[in-house]
Amino acid sequence: MKGGNDMKIKMKTPLVEMDGDEMTRVIWSKIKEILLEPYIDLKTVYFDLGLKKRDESNDMITVEAAEATEKYGVAVKCATITPNQQRVKEYDLKQMWKSPNGTIRAILDGTVFRSPILLDCIRPTVSTWKKPITIARHAYGDIYKNVEMLIDVPGKVYMTFEPADGDQSKAQRELVHDFADGGVAMGMHNLDKSIRSFAHSCFKYALATQQTLWFSTKDTISKKYDRRFMDIFQEIFDLEYKADFEKNEIEYFYTLIDDAIARIIRSKGGIIWACKNYDGDVMSDMVATAFGSLAMMTSVLVSPKGVFEYEAAHGTVTRHYYKYLKGESTSTNPMATIFAWSGALRKRAELDGIKELETFADNLESACINTIEAGIMTKDLELIADLTEKRVVTTEDFLHAVAGRLK
């Protein structure tokens, strides 16, 4: 399959490519060089979301990348640094720019689905789990769009609503707390429109993948905020999806988040678990670790308009990057980043009707899995892989071993 330019698989519509930071940026270019460019006449619209470029462009590059994703339909993103105080110093930033994923999600809306890559030789920590558990994370609002206050003198914090038309009968004012001393306060919001599209994405994804859908919140404590999520899901399900779920013999049910956690541990997997933004952030890390490794978790943002953005669920693997900078070779796992590319290429192939590209994406994933099953793996998998013969290799050697199985 590898060959000169005319032998390479041709693309029609470009992918939106978002480059990133640190170790994953290094891996990104190696994946392209070793696993993609020799086989595909790769067409991408490139955005450099590396922290330096975000700072130079006052973060406009992130907005442009999200807009291009809406235009072209499919994107693939490298992990990026979300700056904190320490990063502001390290990169001499003009300001503490917001999380690029947060910015992109706020523009595209939609839902993030995270599923682990399963291998025969890696047994989940939870012994009952036989199939992947997909976490559907709502990608808008809550604490990711909050406003916060530090209180250091006595006083009252109120939450007020002022109707745009000035109709005072619709005005609202609630005392959050009467502070006698220092403390903290926070305000957050969500939108019916976004919750609705979250629900639609989840019901559609459940039908497309033939899996039962769970949704959980803390409605017993949050009687208006979380209750609103619960009611919107139920209303949309009853009106638009109930019959199809019955036909496909899959279920939708709502339960309290505490109950969902107890049930998930006892389940066999093969479930989509819809979570609010923060719950999804945290639970996906728990599920990924229990399935083996954060490095084996894939992630896709599906917008209500049907736009797809693929990425790895892990970060930029800073600790490995600092070793790399010292000239040491690292054994960082590139699986989730490769699967972000294969996922995006497969979706592009589906949309553009390019059978060869779809087959390539499947072959690439099989080659990765076969490489690990054959005992060649990165260091993170060594402890958890149940194989008698294991060879720990560097990232680059792993990529070459995969390429060897692609030919």
Euclidean distance between CA atoms 110 and 306, whole angstroms: 9
- Contact segment (CB under 6 A) with ligand NAP among 78-86, 188-196, 205-213, 384-392 equals 78-86
Work out whether 58 is an interface residue with ligand NAP (CB under 6 A): no
Report the nearest approach of ligand NAP to the CB of residue 184 (Å). 23
Q: Which is nearer to ligand NAP, 146 or 318 (CB)?
A: 318
Q: Which is nearer to Mg ion, 64 or 285 (CB)?
A: 285
Work out whether 114 is an interface residue with ligand NAP (CB under 6 A): no
Work out whether 317 is an interface residue with ligand NAP (CB under 6 A): yes
Q: Which is nearer to ligand NAP, 199 or 340 (CB)?
A: 340
Question: Can you tell me which of 211, 332, 342, 371 binds ligand NAP, judged by CB under 6 A?
Answer: 332
Euclidean distance between CA atoms 405 and 374, whole angstroms: 11
Euclidean distance between CA atoms 135 and 299, whole angstroms: 9
Work out whether 106 is an interface residue with ligand NAP (CB under 6 A): no
Work out whether 315 is an interface residue with ligand NAP (CB under 6 A): yes
Quick one: tokens of 207?
């039908």
Euclidean distance between CA atoms 270 and 134, whole angstroms: 8
Q: Which does 295 bind (CB under 5 to 8 A by kind): Mg ion, ligand NAP, none?
A: ligand NAP
Residue number with the smallest Cβ distance to Mg ion = 281
Q: Hey, which residues between 362 and 391 contact ligand NAP (CB under 6 A)?
A: 380
Where do contacts with Mg ion occur on this chain (CB under 5 A)?
Answer: 281, 285
Euclidean distance between CA atoms 152 and 163, whole angstroms: 30
Work out whether 25 is an interface residue with ligand NAP (CB under 6 A): no
Q: Which of 110, 107, 103, 126 is nearest to 280 (CA)?
A: 110
Q: Hey, which residues between 282 and 301 contact ligand NAP (CB under 6 A)?
A: 294-295
x/- track of binding to ligand NAP for residues 232-261 (CB under 6 A): ------------------------------
Q: Which is nearer to Mg ion, 284 or 331 (CB)?
A: 284
Residue 396 backbone zone (phi > 0: left; psi -120 to 50: alpha; other: beta): alpha
Residues in binding contact with ligand NAP, number by CB under 6 A: 17
Q: Which is nearer to Mg ion, 283 or 344 (CB)?
A: 283
Q: Which does 375 bind (CB under 5 to 8 A by kind): Mg ion, ligand NAP, none?
A: none
Q: Which is nearer to ligand NAP, 20 or 132 (CB)?
A: 20
Work out whether 329 is an interface residue with ligand NAP (CB under 6 A): no
- Contact segment (CB under 6 A) with ligand NAP among 35-43, 187-195, 314-322, 348-356 equals 314-322
H-helix or E-strand spanning residue 173: strand 172-179
3 state SS of 122: strand
The DSSP annotation for 326-386 comes to TT-------HHHHHHHHHHHHHHHHHHT-HHHHHHHHHHHHHHHHHHHTTEE-HHHHTTB-
Residue 220 backbone zone (phi > 0: left; psi -120 to 50: alpha; other: beta): alpha
Q: Which does 17 bind (CB under 5 to 8 A by kind): Mg ion, ligand NAP, none?
A: none
Distances (CA, A) of 218 to 111, 188, 212, 256, 260: 19, 16, 20, 6, 11
